[in-house]
């Protein structure tokens, strides 16, 4: 089978898989982004001169599933799939960039098909490939992640096939004039870099501590080091995700009130409570985390931590139950 045909099959399979996956996961991803993006200050002050007690934000204890229900109640099925178009575009770009690499590595290993790629035994090469695959996509296309998060959280009713109107809402005038400024969004690139390090980090732990899930007998062998690794990874990755989500919603430059007649309408009720424009903007990843703790409390940094833990477990299981490559 020619390499060109292998590339075509791999690409088409990946495209179909990406669209099918997004059709299933997008409502849950959208609810997660909204939940982590919602601003819930510790206390809401009353009107000047009002001696009544300050009240807690109504969204502070809504929870992940409460947010999912809220999205459906306010925006319906359309709202559950907000952000799917930029997500598809992001997936397609990643496929076009990496499918030739996948085919090349598969052919180089002498595999009869591209169903799976088993990294070479060289630990340095394996770690380097994992690092590249983890880091490069995020750094190249994270502006699309910014647009996706803004599309998910916007109160506007965005049409799927009206990109011009959508970008008018999602980007500030300065960002529309110079789209490359999205790469300068404070803290987002650094967050993507740190997030990409988790894959290689898990590989190193697996290498040095010998944690394995044996395919032949389906025996789960977890050591104390493995459990500690999961706890540490969840405890670090969840705050990183929360702060990164907040950072992607910060506009570059002034955002004027939209008076254009072509501006998409808004829903009658807002799903996400945004941080006010009068607040001091986050200047970076660590500053954003510190301000969240000060204004909303440390628990906000661990919103939906169990989802992060579940994703990590599934990622390890998906690799552990792949049978070893036949000896040649």
Mean of all residue pLDDT scores within the chain: 77
The CATH architecture to which 3-42+56-320 belongs is Alpha/alpha barrel (1.50)
pLDDT single digits (tens) 228-287: 777 888 899 999 999 999 999 998 876 655 555 578 899 999 999 999 878 889 999 999
Q: How confident is the model at residue 136 (pLDDT cuts 50, 70, 90)?
A: low
Average of pLDDT values for 104-113? Answer: 47
Asked if residue 303 lies in contact with residue 242, where contact means CB atoms within 8 angstroms, the answer is yes
Asked if residue 319 lies in contact with residue 117, where contact means CB atoms within 8 angstroms, the answer is no
Give the span between the Cα atoms of 300 and 241, in whole angstroms.
11
Confidence check: pLDDT of 168 > 80: yes
Name the more confident of 140 and 42.
Answer: 42
% of residues, the chain, pLDDT over 70: 65
Asked if residue 275 lies in contact with residue 213, where contact means CB atoms within 8 angstroms, the answer is no
* Interacting residues of 28 by C-beta distance below 8 A, sequence separation 6+: 68
Q: Hunting for tokens 């009869």 — which residue is that? A: 112
Asked if residue 59 lies in contact with residue 38, where contact means CB atoms within 8 angstroms, the answer is yes
Q: How confident is the model at residue 42 (pLDDT cuts 50, 70, 90)?
A: confident
Asked if residue 130 lies in contact with residue 49, where contact means CB atoms within 8 angstroms, the answer is no
How much is the pLDDT for 140? 74
Give the span between the Cα atoms of 287 and 163, in whole angstroms.
33
Query: Biggest alpha carbon distance in the chain?
Result: 81
Hey, what are 257's tokens? Answer: 């009130």
Confidence check: pLDDT of 186 > 50: yes
Instruction: Give Rg (Cα) of the chain.
Output: 22
How much is the pLDDT for 149? 96
Collapsing DSSP to helix, strand or coil, 213 comes out as strand
Hey, what are 51's tokens? Answer: 């001696």
Give the span between the Cα atoms of 326 and 275, in whole angstroms.
55
Give the span between the Cα atoms of 304 and 174, in whole angstroms.
33
pLDDT single digits (tens) 59-104: 556 899 999 999 999 999 999 999 999 999 988 887 777 665 555 5
Collapsing DSSP to helix, strand or coil, 175 comes out as helix
CB-side exposure of 44: number of CA atoms within 13 Å? 12
């Amino acid at each position: 089978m020619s390499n060109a045909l292998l590339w075509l099959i791999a690409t088409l399979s990946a495209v179909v898989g990406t669209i099918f996956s997004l059709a299933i996961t997008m409502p849950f991803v959208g609810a997660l982004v909204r939940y982590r993006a919602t601003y819930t200050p510790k206390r809401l002050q009353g009107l000047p001169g009002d001696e009544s007690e300050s009240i807690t934000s109504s969204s502070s204890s809504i929870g992940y599933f409460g947010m999912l229900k809220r999205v459906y109640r306010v925006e319906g099925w359309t709202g559950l799939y907000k952000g799917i178009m930029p997500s598809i575009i992001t997936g397609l770009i990643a496929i076009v960039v990496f499918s030739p690499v996948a085919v090349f590595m598969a052919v180089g290993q002498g595999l009869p098909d591209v169903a799976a790629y088993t990294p070479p035994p060289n630990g340095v090469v394996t770690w380097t490939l994992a690092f590249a695959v983890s880091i490069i996509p995020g750094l190249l296309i994270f502006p699309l992640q910014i647009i996706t998060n803004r599309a998910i959280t916007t109160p506007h009713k965005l049409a799927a096939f009206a990109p011009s109107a959508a970008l008018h809402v999602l980007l500030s005038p300065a960002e529309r004039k110079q789209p490359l400024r999205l790469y300068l969004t404070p803290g987002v690139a650094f967050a993507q870099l740190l997030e990409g390090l988790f894959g290689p980090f898990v590989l190193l732990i697996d290498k040095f501590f010998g944690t394995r899930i044996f395919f032949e007998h389906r025996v789960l062998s977890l050591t104390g080091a493995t459990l500690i690794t999961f706890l540490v990874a969840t405890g670090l990755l969840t705050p990183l995700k929360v702060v990164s989500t907040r950072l992607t919603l910060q506009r570059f430059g002034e955002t004027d009130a939209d008076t254009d007649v072509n501006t998409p309408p808004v829903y009658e009720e807002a799903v996400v409570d945004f941080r006010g424009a009068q607040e001091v903007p986050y200047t970076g990843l660590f500053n954003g985390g510190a301000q969240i703790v000060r204004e909303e409390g440390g628990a906000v940094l661990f919103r939906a931590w169990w989802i992060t833990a579940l994703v990590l477990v599934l990622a390890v299981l998906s690799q552990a139950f792949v049978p070893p490559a036949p000896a040649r």
